[in-house]
Amino acid sequence: MEDFRESVIHIAYIISAALFIIGLKRLSAPASARQGNQLAIGAMTLAFVATLIDPEISTFWTIIIGTLIGGGIGYYLARKVQMTAMPQLVALFNGMGGGTAAVIAVGEFMKFTRDGEVTAGEGLSVAFGVTVGCIALTGSLIAGGKLHEILPSGAIRSPIQMPAAILLVLAVGATWVYLLAMGGQETTVWIMFAVALVLGIALVIPIGGGDMPVVVSLLNSMTGLAAAAAGFVLDNQILIIAGALVGASGMLLTVLMSQAMNRPLSNVFFGAFGAAGAGPAAADGEAKPIRQTNADDAAVMLGYAQNVIIVPGYGLAVAQAQHAIRELADELDKRNINVRYAIHPVAGRMPGHMNVLLAEANVPYDQLFEMEQINGEFQRTDVVLVVGANDVVNPAARTDQTSPIYGMPILNADAAQTIIVMKRSMKPGFAGIENDLFHLDKTRMLFGDAKAALADVIAAVKNV
């Protein structure tokens, strides 16, 4: 009977692998993305059910209780958390996956050592699974903490970081050598586990909050590789296939993201270890002039414009003003004003984040324009309304070679006739860089909470 059960499991895993592959393919096109995700859910469910009949499984209570607790917590968070907090939620789930892979590798290693000799392949898979899984676990938690601003979001730097990181890498390397060359013992793996956890913290702590999306994406890819390593440890094909798919696609996604932000990966990681004084200090001593405006004046500028472009940023999402901005756009639309949204690839906290947030507020697709489509339109635009965006419209990215964001593609908001900037205060953005756009003659600053300020402007537009 065991042969029969194993055949059933193998067939189920093969179908599951095919479903994961088709699902991922569907996920890469907007029209079929949701279906793709559902195919992947089907693949996971099939693999889960098939594993339950595995003859090696004799204890079920840990599986049932664990699945109910973990699944319940995951489902609750996924449904309740606000869409703005979604990047840190993804980071949290990613950390959980990394932790799982590490735990599997440790558990299996204990069985290997008990059953006799550990082969080179087994030792290598265990070492990789433990190390990468642990780094993904603590790295993701730190990244999530920074995104959630529980931890300081800036780059935390000190002169001991570089030596400390090197020391930790050497320590992990030593446990690898001991495990692979001398067979190692349980203690070796536990030391590896502990040191890799600290290494994950040490690697992510020095990276600034602005780079966190790239870091989360990279850690996501790493967890995929750790899952594949767990597959090698267990000799389980579906883990290898699903893990390798995520490892590879996650790595490509990381590269695409860092290109969109013009932050080469080497900069993200090693830039943090460089001289702390990089970039122009925001403290120029004297404050540059700004021109303030109020809701009524802003309403007049908007109400008598022909072309308006809205540049939404993370501040809009934080203030939960997605619905208010759509209401304003509807109001302008009634006056036959051409309203469009310019979406920077990294608006929000991650590429595509802003599209999700605006879709939630029912903003029509055909009003959303990506940077390449709309950048030539700004000079023919009467009013640009920048709401809670900062770095993505900072002209320093084009002109100032010393700026940390120099070379990042930006929205050419400064080419418009008039610019209205809605902002909470003059505080610099997430990247902590001064923005010259705010000091132009044709720029008007409208301070306040985006939602409240928009409500005032909407009321005023109705009376114009």
Partner 1 sequence: MSLEFVLAIYVFLLTVFLGIELINRVPATLHTPLMSATNAIHGIVLIGAMLVAGAADNTLLHALGLIGVILGAGNAVGGFAVTDRMLEMFKKKPVEGQ
What is the nearest approach in angstroms of partner 1 to the Cβ of residue 101?
5
What is the nearest approach in angstroms of partner 1 to the Cβ of residue 436?
26
Which residue among 130, 135, 196, 257 contacts partner 1 (CB under 8 A)? Answer: 257
Each residue 210-229 as x (binds partner 1 by CB under 8 A) or -, in order, gives ------xx--x--xx-xxx-
Residue with Cβ nearer partner 1 (332 or 363): 363
Stretch of residues binding partner 1 (CB under 8 A), selected from 174-182, 240-248, 276-284, 414-422: 240-248
Quick check: 37 binds partner 1 (CB under 8 A)? yes
Which region, left, alpha or beta, applies to residue 270 given φ > 0 means left and ψ of -120 to 50 means alpha?
A: alpha
Quick check: 187 binds partner 1 (CB under 8 A)? no
Site for partner 1 in 353-372 (CB under 8 A): 353, 355-356, 359-360, 362, 365, 370
Sign of the CA dihedral running 193, 198, 202, 205 = positive
| Rounded CA separation 228/21 (Å) | 15
| Rounded CA separation 408/426 (Å) | 22
Quick check: 315 binds partner 1 (CB under 8 A)? no
Residue with Cβ nearer partner 1 (190 or 447): 190
Quick check: 104 binds partner 1 (CB under 8 A)? yes
Quick check: 250 binds partner 1 (CB under 8 A)? yes
Residue with Cβ nearer partner 1 (357 or 422): 357
Q: What are phi and psi of 308, to 5 degrees?
A: -125, 135
Quick one: tokens of 19?
């479903």
Which residue among 246, 298, 299, 431 contacts partner 1 (CB under 8 A)? Answer: 246
Tracing tokens 């320093």 back to the chain, one arrives at 396
Residue with Cβ nearer partner 1 (220 or 418): 220
Quick check: 15 binds partner 1 (CB under 8 A)? no
What is the nearest approach in angstroms of partner 1 to the Cβ of residue 420?
26
Question: What is the side-by-side order of every strand in the sheet holding 338-343?
Answer: 368-370, 338-343, 307-312, 383-387, 418-423, 443-447
In contact, 422 and 387? CB cutoff 8 Å: yes
Taking each helix axis from N to C end, the angle separating 186-204 and 161-182, rounded to the nearest 10 degrees, works out to 150
Residue with Cβ nearer partner 1 (94 or 138): 94
Quick check: 194 binds partner 1 (CB under 8 A)? no
* Residues involved in catalysis: 391
Quick check: 121 binds partner 1 (CB under 8 A)? yes
Helix (H) or strand (E) holding 69: helix 61-80
Quick check: 410 binds partner 1 (CB under 8 A)? no
Residue with Cβ nearer partner 1 (66 or 407): 66
In contact, 233 and 105? CB cutoff 8 Å: yes
| Rounded CA separation 439/422 (Å) | 14
What is the nearest approach in angstroms of partner 1 to the Cβ of residue 85?
10
Tracing tokens 């903003």 back to the chain, one arrives at 363
Which residue among 8, 14, 18, 41 contacts partner 1 (CB under 8 A)? Answer: 41
Quick check: 397 binds partner 1 (CB under 8 A)? no
Tracing tokens 């790295």 back to the chain, one arrives at 139
| Rounded CA separation 341/387 (Å) | 11
Quick check: 351 binds partner 1 (CB under 8 A)? yes
What is the nearest approach in angstroms of partner 1 to the Cβ of residue 221?
8
What is the nearest approach in angstroms of partner 1 to the Cβ of residue 31?
9
| Rounded CA separation 385/192 (Å) | 52
Q: What is the dihedral of CA 156, 158, 161, 163, to 10 degrees?
A: 170
Residue with Cβ nearer partner 1 (141 or 387): 141
> One-letter amino acid identity for 158?
S
For 405, residues 6+ apart whose C-beta sits below 8 A from its C-beta are 262, 391, 394, 396, 397, 431, 433
CA distances (Å), origin 212, targets 1, 8, 363 = 51, 43, 27
Site for partner 1 in 59-98 (CB under 8 A): 59-60, 62-63, 65-71, 73-75, 77-79, 81, 83, 86-87, 89-90, 93-94, 96-97
Q: How many residues bind partner 1 (CB under 8 A)?
A: 113
Quick check: 252 binds partner 1 (CB under 8 A)? yes
**Ranges assigned E (strand) in 317-417:** 338-343, 368-370, 383-387
Helix (H) or strand (E) holding 447: strand 443-447
Quick check: 115 binds partner 1 (CB under 8 A)? no
> One-letter amino acid identity for 415?
A
Quick check: 139 binds partner 1 (CB under 8 A)? no
Quick check: 27 binds partner 1 (CB under 8 A)? yes
Residue with Cβ nearer partner 1 (50 or 460): 50
